[in-house]
Structure 1
Amino acid sequence: MHVLFKHLRKAGNTEQRREYSHYLAQQMGPMIHALMLVGALAYLVAVIASTLVNHSSLPLWLRLVPLPPLLLVASSTRYVRQPRLLSSLTLLCVVLLEIGINLNGVDDVHRRSVVLPGLLLPVASSVIWLGRWDFLAAMLLCALGPLPMLLFGGTDNMQVLQYLVYMAIAIALSTVLRAFMARTLFEQFRLERQLREQVNTDGLTGLLVRNRFLELARLALGDIRLRQQPACVLYLDADHFKSLNDNYGHAAGDAALIALASVIRRQMRQGDLIGRIGGEEFAMLLPGLDLQQAGARAEQLRQSMHEILRPDGPLTVSIGVAECDHAGEVLETLLARADQAMRQAKRDGRDRVVSA
């Protein structure tokens, strides 16, 4: 897992690693829930079986004490999908099982009852740990959990040594199983992420496609209203783009669009949304900016486009700006007003910014 996160550090940032952690929690949550329920059931069966076979000085109710919290923890994991909380609950489950192993091994002179569950626990739980430190903590708990009973219960050194050897083998097996599971999940995460990006982004410019932009912009606009902040939309269209395609070919047009999208990305802040709405039309949602501020940003963007050289001269754009001026305005109306302002910029001579 360390190697996988190292790969993520090279490929992305903290947000990407956080996304991977949440992906693991979503994928493995049901498995963790099911294994906890199986663990609680197995513990109940083990207690009943040991009661029928061996007489214990501890009353049955005391040996069943770990069972209610086990069931409570298992039930809570059905709905938990936060990585840290899910890992904490899973570690708590291991602690409760280790307590139960010790309680049921108190009167076992040879401590044979701790060997099988003690060795099964690390192997059975090997594939459910979300992070490297979770796995290390769990393996440490599995290895050290039964040791107090073995060391202070009159067990000879040979039995302790046998337990340690078998536990080392079990942990080594668990490490191999987890490594393969982690690699499989990471490859699945990477593939699904690539597929989402292909669906949600334009293949040429790398910007959001129209439907995805509209979806995210609606959500962002609702959040902006709740925070009572201003917001503006820019509607941008490349000037004389049809003549560029007709006279110099679509390769020249594609190169211009790629360069245009690159300039837009450089000019935008984190939190701004950018989408390719049509062939050479782009829309941007600017949270937190009023009409004057958005107009200044649009003017800066218009001037930056002159750095892009087409075969027939500098690239120019016409930009329309519209501010969300009342709480009930929907995104479609806001975009329509920005589009009308952009068309007015075209009528006024192109290569200019017009506010609605």
Structure 2
Amino acid sequence: MLTSLLPPTITPALRLCFHRRSMEQQRPLSTVTMAFTVVAFLIFVMARSHVTGMDLPLWPRLLCALAMLLLVAAIPKAPSTFIFGLIGVLYIVVLQIGVVINVEGVEKPLFWMLPAGMVIPICAAPLWLTPRHFILGTIAFYLAGLPFVLSVPFTHDDYVLCAMWVAIGIPTATTFHFGFYWFRLSHFMLEEKLLALAGTDPLTKLLNRRAFLEQAERVLGETQAEGEVVSAIFLDIDRFKSLNDQYGHARGDDALMEVTQVLNDAVPPGGVIGRLGGEEFAVLIKTPGPQRAAELADTLRILVAAILRPDGFLTASFGLAHRRSNESAIELLDRADEALLRAKHAGRNRVFVEQARRVERVRATAIDEESDTRVDEEPVVATRWGAFDLFTHYQPVYSLSHQKQVGFEALLRGFDRHGTPLQPDSLFAPQSNPGVTELDSLTHHLHLANARKRLPLDTWLFLNVAPSTFIQAGYEQTLAAIVSEAGLDPGGVVLEILESEGVDVEELALAAWRYRGCGFLIAVDDFGAGHSNLDRLLRIQPDFVKLDGELIRAKSRASDQPLLPTIVSLLHRADMLVVVEGIETTEELILAVESNVDFAQGFLLGRPSATLPSAAAVMRRIDHAFDVIAEGRTVRTARFEAQLAPYLAMLTSAATALSNGANIEEAIAPMAKLELCKRCFVLDETGRIVGPEIIGRAGPGADFRLGPLAGPQSGRWDHRPYYWKAVASMGMAVFCQPYLSLTSGRASVGVTMAFTRDDKVMVVGSELDWTSPHLAWPTAE
């Protein structure tokens, strides 16, 4: 199983890898050195000829030189370390034979052989790839010259020479070889360690994203057996952020390690496992068929769901995709990731398989601007502000329901004389700076002049206005004149009041009334950040409210459910259209669509640019979000109803018994034994509790916040949806949307059923604890 790049020890396989890499690195050096030695040998032959004359024919010496040249030519083509070493041994033997032939017949031949006998083994020592090559090559070198040495009559000086060879040549060569060998080995191990660290996740020791993709590409490049399928499993730990936030990152790390252990144990040999980032893991496997991969994914889901976390059990969502013809690893993972996205939206803790149709990449953070931009023929209008050149950039605003571009926010971009871009906030001084209004006015001239040339006629232009400029007396007339001069209609211009402190809300409200009189539309920017608050909205009464991106990520503390749908519903009740800014991921786009957001903008839908982006790719993204929501709504609704089924059945039995005159306590007591039941009760026609209230297995418990509310028998509950829905559906068990209970302070679901007893309408019900993240939440009504 390929799970890590870190080598635990120098294994035989690792040593073989080292020798092969050393061979590739030493080919050029060995080739050059051995070729130079051939030249040196020919010079040696010429020196012998010049000093003593030739006693033997020249051709044996040249034949040795030719053999060495052929061996040099074979070095770059050596296919293995064995052949590489064999060439070296043959080369050094031929060289020794050539030296022996060359010194044959000279006076004191051992003195002539001294340089070769000592220098050649020493110089060759670092070039041997392995100690085995070195030992065999050195022995072969000396054995090749031994017959000649033994045939020479020894003198006292000859014994001294042989002693020098033994005492200096052999130890020095041995030191050189093993010194260079261990140096190369240490360098190789350091290189392997660095490569491993660069490709291994430091916590789990699994492959990181880069290494996983490289290994996956190698697997995809291998020949597949008949019927073999390559599958990618993408998994994401559910609610991992809440684990880190509530219980600390150490507990989160423990969870990651436990999931890693599950993967290492359950994924079969040959599978590639990686941690792609955060709580995301990926597995690439070869199986005999797609069903095996689906079974493995479900097995992994079950094993992960058995891991404990402080508030229950860990779960993960899985996406599965099978490789298509000529598909890259990135494309395969994208389809698995899309399936994972659908699994999470359908309620988490489940396995979803890829869709048959091709989908947009779900993790990309922005539309490819190079391929999705329109070429504008109109010249760009620019202006100067001090030492800066100012330009207009546009970011599109989309209607999610209409799936079309409906507006563009004009954004100011500045560049210095070197063409270096400047941050927008560096152009605008603090609000107290009197130059801000001047720059604001200059910016409005610039944006409106460009809008006349570039923007489609049926779109809004969102124009930022500093509050200090917005409240200036008479500026509404000035701006209306600028708009008219640009050939635009004020009804197509949305003035965004920027968030700031120091400006009285009453002044902003009065100014907004004046701008509306000129035909402008009003928007409040960055609601939910800084000093922006609900009172500000209710006083200004804008046409649009632009929500800060952080509100997309806001969730309830206990149930981990997003708050965006409730915020949007509140603003809609106040007759305000909602724009969500900062959409950067597909998950955020899906949440915006599901929350009934009217308009959206963000990097995912288009970055600010001097050119107007095409809407085609964005439309596919938005349409995909609608598809995911539709599928998820069906799955979650079915799961929600399945989880409620035993409670509704028990409720029907209790209502039947009560309508037949049974004792209240005896009739409702069985419901209290069910797992999620907090309390069971019967209400009269005025919504007050009749008889005893029975605390269930998930009883309210002690909540110090709600101490004064203890004892709901005195309350009146006929205003609650679970009461009047039951009365409206007499004789049918009904349920309501999750709500915050006043008796327990936790998210709850009410299941009720109306019946008649003694000619009076009564309602029997149970309040269920719905705080567990494993429970399905239906789509908001």
TM-score normalised according to structure 2 size: 0.42
Matched, 1:57 2:55: yes
Deviations 1:292-344 (A, max 9, x none): 111222223223324533233332222222112x3233333321221222233
Counterparts of residues 220-259 of structure 1 (less than 5 Å): 220-224=219-223, 229-259=228-258
Counterparts of residues 130-169 of structure 1 (less than 5 Å): 130-152=129-151, 154-156=152-154, 158=156, 161-169=159-167
| Aligned equivalent of 1:36, options 34, 37, 57 | 34
Deviations 1:243-262 (A, max 9, x none): 10111122211221122223
Supply the distance in 2 between the matched residues of 1:270 and 1:301 (Cα, whole angstroms).
15
In structure 1, the partner of 2:64 is: 66
Aligned length: 347
| Aligned equivalent of 2:81, options 80, 83, 97 | 83
Supply the distance in 2 between the matched residues of 1:143 and 1:247 (Cα, whole angstroms).
75
Supply the distance in 2 between the matched residues of 1:312 and 1:289 (Cα, whole angstroms).
39
Supply the distance in 2 between the matched residues of 1:146 and 1:235 (Cα, whole angstroms).
66
Q: 2:36 is aligned with what amino acid?
A: V
Contact 1:224/1:230 (<8 A) preserved: no
Change (3 A) 1:23 1:308: farther
Supply the distance in 2 between the matched residues of 1:200 and 1:118 (Cα, whole angstroms).
48
Q: 2:308 is aligned with what amino acid?
A: L
Supply the distance in 1 between the matched residues of 2:29 and 2:243 (Cα, whole angstroms).
56
Contact 1:32/1:90 (<8 A) preserved: no
Change (3 A) 1:69 1:310: farther
Q: 1:83 is aligned with what amino acid?
A: T
Larger radius of gyration: 2
In structure 2, the partner of 1:3 is: none
Matched, 1:95 2:105: no
Change (3 A) 1:134 1:79: same
TM-superposed CA distance for 1:193, in Å, is 1.1
Supply the distance in 2 between the matched residues of 1:145 and 1:159 (Cα, whole angstroms).
22
Deviations 1:42-90 (A, max 9, x none): 1111111111112333211221111112112223323547322221211
In structure 1, the partner of 2:327 is: 329
Supply the distance in 1 between the matched residues of 2:158 and 2:299 (Cα, whole angstroms).
74
In structure 2, the partner of 1:117 is: 116
CA root-mean-square deviation: 2.4
Change (3 A) 1:328 1:133: closer
Contact 1:47/1:63 (<8 A) preserved: yes
SS in 1 for 2:347: coil
Deviations 1:110-157 (A, max 9, x none): 2232222111111111111111211111221232222101212x4226
In structure 1, the partner of 2:43 is: 45
Deviates more, 1:90-99 or 1:221-230: 221-230
Change (3 A) 1:260 1:137: same
Q: 2:127 is aligned with what amino acid?
A: I
Deviations 1:216-244 (A, max 9, x none): 32232122469884211111111221110
Supply the distance in 1 between the matched residues of 2:226 and 2:218 (Cα, whole angstroms).
13
Deviates more, 1:138-147 or 1:308-317: 308-317
Change (3 A) 1:322 1:104: same
TM-superposed CA distance for 1:164, in Å, is 3.4
SS in 1 for 2:76: coil
Q: 2:58 is aligned with what amino acid?
A: L
Higher helix content, 1 or 2: 1
Change (3 A) 1:265 1:62: same
Matched, 1:20 2:29: no
Supply the distance in 1 between the matched residues of 2:13 and 2:166 (Cα, whole angstroms).
36
Deviations 1:13-68 (A, max 9, x none): 33222221122213322222222112111111111111111233321122111111
TM-superposed CA distance for 1:109, in Å, is 4.1
SS in 2 for 1:173: helix
Contact 1:20/1:189 (<8 A) preserved: yes
In structure 1, the partner of 2:274 is: 275
| Aligned equivalent of 2:343, options 342, 345, 348 | 345
SS in 1 for 2:344: helix
In structure 2, the partner of 1:299 is: 298
Contact 1:87/1:134 (<8 A) preserved: yes
Q: Which consecutive residues of structure 2, in runs of 5 or more, have no partner in the other structure?
A: 1-6, 355-781
TM-superposed CA distance for 1:12, in Å, is 4.4
Change (3 A) 1:66 1:288: farther
In structure 2, the partner of 1:186 is: 185
Supply the distance in 2 between the matched residues of 1:223 and 1:331 (Cα, whole angstroms).
13
Q: 1:31 is aligned with what amino acid?
A: L
Q: 2:87 is aligned with what amino acid?
A: L
Q: 1:205 is aligned with what amino acid?
A: T
Higher strand content, 1 or 2: 2
Supply the distance in 2 between the matched residues of 1:139 and 1:282 (Cα, whole angstroms).
53
Supply the distance in 1 between the matched residues of 2:129 and 2:229 (Cα, whole angstroms).
40
- Which structure has more relative contact order (CA 8 Å, sep 6+)? It is 1
Change (3 A) 1:109 1:12: closer
Deviates more, 1:231-240 or 1:218-227: 218-227
Deviates more, 1:74-83 or 1:163-172: 74-83
Deviates more, 1:233-242 or 1:202-211: 202-211
SS in 2 for 1:319: strand
Supply the distance in 1 between the matched residues of 2:8 and 2:253 (Cα, whole angstroms).
29
Q: Which consecutive residues of structure 1, in runs of 5 or more, have no partner in the other structure?
A: 1-8
SS in 2 for 1:116: helix
In structure 2, the partner of 1:172 is: 171
Supply the distance in 2 between the matched residues of 1:216 and 1:94 (Cα, whole angstroms).
41
Q: 2:266 is aligned with what amino acid?
A: Q
Q: 1:20 is aligned with what amino acid?
A: F
Deviates more, 1:223-232 or 1:47-56: 223-232
In structure 2, the partner of 1:314 is: 313
Change (3 A) 1:269 1:39: farther
TM-superposed CA distance for 1:158, in Å, is 4.5
Supply the distance in 2 between the matched residues of 1:132 and 1:228 (Cα, whole angstroms).
47
Supply the distance in 1 between the matched residues of 2:174 and 2:25 (Cα, whole angstroms).
20
Deviates more, 1:227-236 or 1:172-181: 227-236
In structure 1, the partner of 2:262 is: 263
Deviates more, 1:99-108 or 1:294-303: 294-303
